[in-house]
Amino acid sequence: MTQHATGHRFGYVRVSTSKQEGQAQRGQLEAAGIDAHDIEEDHGRSGTKMARPALERLTGAWSEEQGRFSGGRMRTGDVLTVSMLDRLGRNTREMLEFAERLRASGMNLHILNMEIDTSTPGGELLFTVMSAIATMESRIKAERARNGVQLRRDRGEKVGGRPKAYSDEPIQRKAEQVQQGLLSAAQAARELGISRSTFYKRADEMGLSLKVRAESAQE
């Protein structure tokens, strides 16, 4: 078995629907040196359904009283590895909260696509900085939204209207998966239940241009 310097390494895979395959995620985890029998996988559980029995088998249940995870396969010093951070939560806040709970339990987190491993001093520092930036960006975004609403009101413009079919977060997750080659734009749009042109437009609005990748894939 492959052992990490500070403990045993486990892997976690989550696929959003029962039709999706976790082979790509599993392949990345095994390439990182994690044994197949140390990888747990949740099927058919989207980011909106937070009950994840496979993940709980690894970490155990969170105890507010003890302030830590307990009862799972992982022990102090062990490392939970995921292909991407969004495998762990519906939004940045929930992902970072989960990571903080791991840290409180004496466990570590390794995010492959970000090359962050909190069991190393550099990885822990990078994750701390990333957490601070994410919190700051969230506050800035909320402040800009409030200022924008107030500015429109000051101009006498109508505030409100029909909401978008999907919030930015699921669009961003799918766009990032397309950029990483894990999904095609057509697959991502189909899973979101929107047209491919709408998916491209929303991704472009968030600075995640996918057209270049689509054009290169057709060449």
Q: What is the block-wise mean pLDDT of the chain (219 residues), using blocks of 10 residues?
A: 63 77 89 96 65 91 92 95 84 79 92 87 76 66 74 67 62 84 84 84 78 46
- Residue 75 pLDDT: 95
What residue type is 125 in one-letter code? L
Return residue ranges of the chain for CATH 3.40.50.1390: 3-121
What residue type is 51 in one-letter code? A
Please give the CATH topology (third level) of the domain spanning 3-121.
Rossmann fold (3.40.50)
Per-residue tokens: 124: 């822990």
SS3 145: helix
CB atoms within 10 A of CB 166: 15
Contact between 1 and 78 under an 8 Å Cβ cutoff? The reply is no
pTM of the full predicted structure?
Answer: 0.58
What are the Cα distances from residue 31, in Å, to 68, 113, 136?
Answer: 30, 13, 34
- Residue 186 pLDDT: 86
